[in-house]
Amino acid sequence: MNPERVSIYVHIPFCARRCEYCDFNTYAWRGNIVRDTLEAICEHIRVADAEGVVVPTIFFGGGTPTFPEPELVIRILDAIRSRFNVSTDAEISIEANPGTVDRSRFAVLRQAGFNRLSLGVQSFDDRLLQALGRIHSSREAICSYEAARAAGFENINIDLMFALPDQTLRQWQHTLRTAIGLQPEHFSCYALTVEPRTPFYTMYRRGQLNLPDEDTDLRMYLYTIRALTRAGYEHYEISNFAKPGYRCRHNIVYWRNEQYLGFGPGAVSYRNGVRWKCLSNPRRYVQAVRDGLSLVEEEEQLACEQSLGETLMLMLRTRDGVDVRTVQERYGVNLLQRYANQLNRLRRLRLLEVTPDRWRITRKGLPIANTICAEFLA
Ligand code: SF4
C-alpha cells in the first residue's frame, strides 16, 4: 500500500504584541502559559495517528513561532520526527518576525532542521510599520534578513502588505524595490483586509482609517506583478511569487486541497474528507491535553460536492490552474459537463482560459480572481 502523504502545520499562538489589523488566533501572553502550550503541542503530537503516513512538508506558523525560546519550538519538531515518518527532503518552514530573532537564534533553528524561513516584514516604511502596530523598524527587518542569511537560511520568504492606510503607490514601490534588492527566494504580497474584531475595524467604522481607493489598490497589485516578474520571480499564485525551484511546497498542499494535520490551539486539519479545528484558547487546549479530553472545537464532514468545489476554487488561485484530469480522477466527475455554464460565461468574458486539460484565470481575470473562484463553490 502506498503511504499516505500528510503535511503538518504547527500553530504557535503567541506574539510580543498584537498588531492593529490582526485577526489570527494569537495572544500577547507571557510566562508559564507559553511553555505549557508548547509542551501540550508535543503531547498532542505524541498521540497523533501516524500510521502509514509520510510527511512531505512541515510549517510552523502563528502567532510568532520565534517568540518563545527556540529550544521549546525545536522540541516540537523533534516530537514530530519521533512520531511521524518525515521525508528526508521535507520542506520545514518557520515564520519569524523581525525584532524577535537574532543570528544565534536563527542558527539554532537552522541547525535543528528548519530549512525555509518566512519573514513577516510587511513594509519598509517606518511610519506605516508603526501604524500597523508592528514591533520592528524597517532597519531591523533588513538586519533580521541578513542575520537569517548569515545563519545559513538559503530559502527565505518575505511577507509584504499593500493598500495600507494612507499608503501611496510611490511608497509601495519603494517597499517593493527595497525588498527585491534583498533577493529573497520568495514573496507573499497581500492587500490589507480590514477584519472584524480588530482595532483597525473600529477605526474604519469611525472613519479614521484612510485606505487607498480601489483604483490605487489595483495599480499596486499590477505593479507588484510587473516588478516581481521582471526581477525573475514566477507569479505562481494570486499573491505569491518565487524564484524558479522555490515555490512553497507546503502552501501548494493547501492549494491542491490535499491532506494536512494541524497541532496547537486553533490549528485546522483536513484528512479523509473531514476538516476539524483544535480548541482555540491556549488555556483550554492545555487543560484538555492534560486531561486526555477531545481537542476538537469544530468538525465538518465535507460532502463530495463541497470538497470538489473547494478544490477547484483553491487550484484556480494558482497560475498552473486546474489540472482537469487529476481532479476528474479524484472525484469521478466530468468537469467540463458539470461546470459548462460557468466555463462558457467566464470564457466569453475572457476571464478564464479553458482547454480540455487545464483551466487558468487570465491576466484580465486576476484582479477579480476571488470572485471567479467563488463561481465554482457548490
Ligand atoms: S505578528 Fe502576525 S500573528 Fe502576531 S499579532 Fe502581528 S499580524 Fe498577528
The per-residue pLDDT for range 312-355, each reduced to its tens digit, is 999 999 999 999 999 999 999 999 999 999 999 999 999 999 99
Q: Which of the listed residues 238, 255, 272 is the one where a domain comes to its end?
A: 255
Q: How confident is the model at residue 300 (pLDDT cuts 50, 70, 90)?
A: very high
Q: Hey, what's the cell of 230?
A: 521582471
Task: For ligand 1, atom 2, name the residue with the nearest CA.
Answer: 63
Report whether residue 64 contacts ligand 1, using a CB cutoff of 6 Å: yes
Query: Quick one: pLDDT at residue 34?
Result: 98
Domain shared by 105 and 222, yes or no: yes
Domain shared by 248 and 335, yes or no: no
Q: Per the structure, how many domains does the chain have?
A: 2
Q: Hey, what's the cell of 166?
A: 494612507
Task: For ligand 1, atom 3, name the residue with the nearest CA.
Answer: 63
Domain shared by 55 and 179, yes or no: yes
Residue 81 Cα to ligand 1 midpoint, Å, equals 27
Residue 6 Cα to ligand 1 midpoint, Å, equals 27
Ligand 1 atom at shortest distance from the alpha carbon of 63: 3
Report whether residue 26 contacts ligand 1, using a CB cutoff of 6 Å: yes
Ligand 1 atom at shortest distance from the alpha carbon of 97: 1
Residue 88 Cα to ligand 1 midpoint, Å, equals 31
Alpha carbon distance 349, 343 (integer Å):
10
Residue 19 Cα to ligand 1 midpoint, Å, equals 5
Residue 309 Cα to ligand 1 midpoint, Å, equals 30
Residue range 32-72, pLDDT digits in tens: 999 999 999 999 999 999 999 999 999 999 999 999 999 99
Alpha carbon distance 43, 40 (integer Å):
5
Per the listing, cell 507573499 goes with: 188
- In eight-state DSSP terms, residue 211 is P
Q: How confident is the model at residue 377 (pLDDT cuts 50, 70, 90)?
A: confident
Q: Is residue 265 in a domain?
A: no
User: Within the chain, how many helices (H) and strands (E) appear?
Assistant: 15, 16
Report whether residue 283 contacts ligand 1, using a CB cutoff of 6 Å: no
User: Is residue 378 pLDDT above 70, yes or no?
Assistant: no
Query: Quick one: pLDDT at residue 216?
Result: 97
The answer for residues whose C-beta is within 8 angstroms of residue 363's C-beta and 6 or more apart is: none
> What is the separation of C-alpha 317 from the centre of its chain, rounded to a whole number of angstroms?
13
Domain shared by 339 and 233, yes or no: no
Domain shared by 17 and 136, yes or no: yes
Residue range 114-131, pLDDT digits in tens: 999 999 999 999 999 999
Helix (H, G, I), strand (E, B) or coil at 351: coil
Per the listing, cell 487545464 goes with: 358
User: Is residue 8 pLDDT above 90, yes or no?
Assistant: yes
Q: Could you list the residue range(s) of the whole structural domain that residue 77 is in?
A: 4-255
Q: Is residue 59 in a domain?
A: yes
Q: Which of the listed residues 255, 275, 290 is the one where a domain comes to its end?
A: 255
**By C-alpha distance, which of 202, 192, 204 is closest to 160?**
192
Report whether residue 81 contacts ligand 1, using a CB cutoff of 6 Å: no
Q: Hey, what's the cell of 170?
A: 510611490
Q: Is residue 285 in a domain?
A: no
Q: Which of the listed residues 212, 234, 255 is the one where a domain comes to its end?
A: 255
Alpha carbon distance 79, 85 (integer Å):
11
Percentage above 90 pLDDT, the chain: 98
Residue 297 Cα to ligand 1 midpoint, Å, equals 22
Q: Is residue 296 in a domain?
A: no
**By C-alpha distance, which of 69, 76, 67, 71 is closest to 42?**
76
Q: Is residue 305 in a domain?
A: no
CB-neighbour burial class of residue 182 (10 A; exposed 0-12, middle 13-18, buried 19+):
middle
Query: Quick one: pLDDT at residue 1?
Result: 72
Alpha carbon distance 184, 285 (integer Å):
36
Q: Is residue 272 in a domain?
A: no
Average pLDDT estimate for 240-247: 98
The per-residue pLDDT of the chain, averaged, comes to: 97
Domain shared by 231 and 336, yes or no: no
**By C-alpha distance, which of 23, 356, 62, 334 is closest to 201?**
23
User: Is residue 157 pLDDT above 90, yes or no?
Assistant: yes
Q: Is residue 304 in a domain?
A: no
Query: Quick one: pLDDT at residue 306?
Result: 93
Ligand 1 atom at shortest distance from the alpha carbon of 21: 7
Residue type, 284: R
Ligand 1 pocket test: pick from 18, 25, 95, 280 the residue with the most ligand atoms within 8 Å of its Cβ.
Answer: 18
Alpha carbon distance 373, 370 (integer Å):
5
Residue 177 near residue 141 (C-beta atoms within 8 A) = no
Domain shared by 221 and 140, yes or no: yes
Domain shared by 11 and 134, yes or no: yes
Domain shared by 170 and 83, yes or no: yes
Q: Is residue 161 in a domain?
A: yes
Residue 91 near residue 246 (C-beta atoms within 8 A) = no
Residue range 185-200, pLDDT digits in tens: 999 999 999 999 999 9
Domain shared by 342 and 208, yes or no: no
Domain harbouring 149, CATH code: 3.20.20.70
**By C-alpha distance, which of 180, 160, 182 is closest to 231?**
180
Q: Hey, what's the cell of 60?
A: 510552523
Kindly report the backbone phi and psi dihedral angles of residue 8, in degrees, each rounded to the nearest multiple of 5, phi listed first.
Answer: -130, 135
Residue 196 Cα to ligand 1 midpoint, Å, equals 15
Q: b/e per residue, 252-282, with b = 16+ CB within 10 A?
A: bbbbbbbbbbbbbbbbbbbbeeebbbbbbeb
Q: Hey, what's the cell of 216?
A: 490605487
